[in-house]
Amino acid sequence: MLAALAGKIGGRTLILQHRQELIAQNMSKFHRINPGWTVSTFDASTKSWRGDAVFSMQQTLCRHTGTMPTFDHVITDEVHHIVSPTYRRIIDAAREKNPKSYLTGFTATPARSDKQSLRAYFNNVADRVTIRELVALGFLVPPKAFVVDCGVRGKLDAIKAPSAFGDQTEVAAVLNTVPINQEIVRHWHEKAAGRQTIVFCSTVAHAHDVCKAFVDAGITAEVVTGETPDRDRAALLARFDRGITKIVVNVAVLTEGYDNQVCSCIILLRQCSDKSPLIQMAGRGLRTVDPELYPGVTKKDCIILDFGTSILIHGNLDSADGMHAEKNPDEKGEAVTKVCPAVYRPGMVYRFPDVDGNIGCGAEIPARCKTCPLCGFVFERLDGENPLEEVSLMEMDIIGRSPFKWVSLFGSENLMMASGFAAWAGVFSVDGDTWHALGKLALDKKVHRLAVTGRPQALASADDFLRQYETDANSRKSKQWLDQPASEKQLGLLRSLGYDAQADPLGRSAFSKYSASCHSNFSFSRYQIEKALGV
């Protein structure tokens, strides 16, 4: 989206990011979307203004604003950082050189933990896409969250909630014990065994102790901290990416800007009193997998094991837009609240009625209250580990939204194809559970593996492939074929491929021009399709 917007607006563009990994990721995607643009970098090692688009580290650029040329468009990734002094210095310098320059920001978490508003730099939210929508549209895998109680819930509730990345020493004192670390390994074996996993700990010492617990259990695990040299960090993350290391443990190093597709389990061993860090941490495991980069890797969901009650506090992964009016600095921020239950609701994590047989009053009270101050309802968690209800997401109508017609082959919903003039794409499943998205260009002999995942994610990948290589005009032309009967040439081709494709005296058959095209494309590539499916 960042690259596409830059291409639409045009002009000299500055792209700001605060992590070196983001420069490489953003430049790679930018090249794919805007192949005609020249790009350059301005960071600690390279300082060049030559490109149509300049990718810069804000930590470096804030010290060299005097050398900055005029830009028509400034784009900021992880834009919730823009209120910091270093970002402000850069934005102010860009606007001084060109008061008419555009400013665009992207972030998954616009609501800052310190409650500062982004309104000082932006006057609108151009678009907002929730994680729920992205999962339902197939761009992310669904999270399956479990809150795990190791018998220390009361001790955690008694701790004053630390700020987003504040001191979590008290949390570590509760969670970092040999028995609990062994329980963490046991629960991982039960719910996520074999998955590539990122663990977020409370302190560095906690991270090393948790890593040792996994290693002692015979699982490959490594620790990355803020003190890990860049070269060592890159090598460690490369081992994790290749599956050599199964578990990578950190405190807050991998919270933002770490793009890893193979991770399918997140373990939270800290508290997130603010929702933004929770969203960022959970998001490390929600990316879909490109099967051509990771052959043999299937990812349908992400398991989240929360030992620090963050999910109970926040309930979901939706973020506010960060565009609230600024408060008086003397005012206190709003406390996280919960509702004193007046009626039973499925999935309740508290005993209802309470231990004394009382029901609640329906009042909104601070989340950390153990007893309602208005009616005396006692919040007592149910016995056991209380797994959260699996996130329920309805599949959106990807097929209905597509500009292409999807055809069920041989009357099976497990074999679906769409064809254009330049390419075809299909989604196929042997068991109705694991779905393969495949695509092929007309002038290419190779069938591309697009995704191996759940059905919505497979459909999204296949539809994206067609949108990338087919024009809107072509999609309209192909849809015109839908009701036109297949030509005699098409029917003859299908008969040669083994189909019963006879026309009646009026020249009609069971095939339209479009469905005949889909079936013939399937037959020509059947061997490669079956090979990809392993059948």
User: DSSP letters along 75-112, please?
Assistant: EEESGGGTTSHHHHHHHHHHHHH-TT-EEEEE-S--S-
Confidence of residue 139 (pLDDT cuts 50, 70, 90): confident
More confident residue, 473 or 314: 314
Instruction: Please tell me the predicted confidence (pLDDT) of residue 337.
Output: 65
CA distance 323 to 123: 8
Which 8-state DSSP code applies to residue 350? Answer: B
Instruction: Please tell me the predicted confidence (pLDDT) of residue 318.
Output: 72
Nearest in space to 34 (alpha carbons), one of 7, 9, 52, 8: 7
* pLDDT (mean) for 514-529: 92
* pLDDT (mean) for 394-421: 77
Domains of the chain: 2-107 (3.40.50.300), 134-314 (3.40.50.300), 334-382 (no CATH), 398-533 (no CATH)
Confidence of residue 108 (pLDDT cuts 50, 70, 90): confident
Ranges of H-type helices in 148-266:
153-158, 169-175, 178-192, 204-216, 230-241
CA distance 482 to 515: 7
Tokens 């302190």 found at: 203
List the single range of 17-26, 96-105, 468-477 with lowest mean pLDDT: 468-477
Instruction: Please tell me the predicted confidence (pLDDT) of residue 507.
Output: 63
pLDDT (tens digit per residue) in 224-259: 998 999 899 999 999 999 999 999 999 989 987 788
* pLDDT (mean) for 159-173: 68
List the single range of 80-84, 298-302, 325-329, 391-395 with lowest mean pLDDT: 391-395
More confident residue, 495 or 371: 495
DSSP reduced 3-state for 407: strand
Instruction: Name every residue whose Cβ is closer than 8 Å to that of residue 479 and which is 6 or more positions away in sequence.
Output: 403, 404, 405, 514
- The model's pTM is 0.68
Instruction: Please tell me the predicted confidence (pLDDT) of residue 153.
Output: 66
* pLDDT (mean) for 144-167: 68
Confidence of residue 394 (pLDDT cuts 50, 70, 90): very low
Tokens 């996993």 found at: 197
Is 390 a residue whose pLDDT tops 70? no
* pLDDT (mean) for 482-500: 85
Is 475 a residue whose pLDDT tops 60? yes
More confident residue, 58 or 394: 58
**Burial zone of 501 (CB within 10 Å; 0-12 exposed, 13-18 middle, 19+ buried):** buried
**Phi, psi at 3, each rounded to 5°:** -70, -40
pLDDT (tens digit per residue) in 119-128: 888 888 888 8
Confidence of residue 384 (pLDDT cuts 50, 70, 90): very low
* pLDDT (mean) for 26-44: 90
Confidence of residue 386 (pLDDT cuts 50, 70, 90): very low
Instruction: Please tell me the predicted confidence (pLDDT) of residue 396.
Output: 47
Per-residue exposure over 448-459, b if at least 16 CB sit within 10 Å of its own CB, e if not: bbbbbbbbbbbb
How many angstroms separate the Cα of 3 from the Cα of each of 8, 10, 240, 290, 353?
A: 9, 10, 28, 20, 54
Confidence of residue 395 (pLDDT cuts 50, 70, 90): very low
pLDDT (tens digit per residue) in 189-233: 999 989 999 999 999 999 999 999 999 999 999 999 989 998 999
Is 147 a residue whose pLDDT tops 60? yes
Q: Any idea how long the chain is?
A: 535
Is 429 a residue whose pLDDT tops 80? yes
Is 476 a residue whose pLDDT tops 70? no
More confident residue, 501 or 11: 11
CA distance 66 to 416: 57
Mean of pLDDT over the chain: 84
More confident residue, 491 or 327: 491
Pairing of strands 435-441, 447-453: antiparallel
Nearest in space to 259 (alpha carbons), one of 1, 6, 19: 19
More confident residue, 320 or 412: 412
Is 276 a residue whose pLDDT tops 90? no
Is 332 a residue whose pLDDT tops 70? no
Instruction: Name every residue whose Cβ is closer than 8 Å to that of residue 333 and which is 6 or more positions away in sequence.
Output: 115, 327
More confident residue, 116 or 8: 8
More confident residue, 37 or 476: 37
Is 299 a residue whose pLDDT tops 90? yes
Look up residue 196 and give its two tokens: 């590539």
Which 8-state DSSP code applies to residue 292? Answer: T
Instruction: Please tell me the predicted confidence (pLDDT) of residue 325.
Output: 65
Is 397 a residue whose pLDDT tops 70? no
Instruction: Please tell me the predicted confidence (pLDDT) of residue 115.
Output: 75
* pLDDT (mean) for 453-480: 79
**Phi, psi at 64, each rounded to 5°:** -135, 30
Q: How far is CA 456 from the centre of its chain?
A: 14
Instruction: Please tell me the predicted confidence (pLDDT) of residue 346.
Output: 64
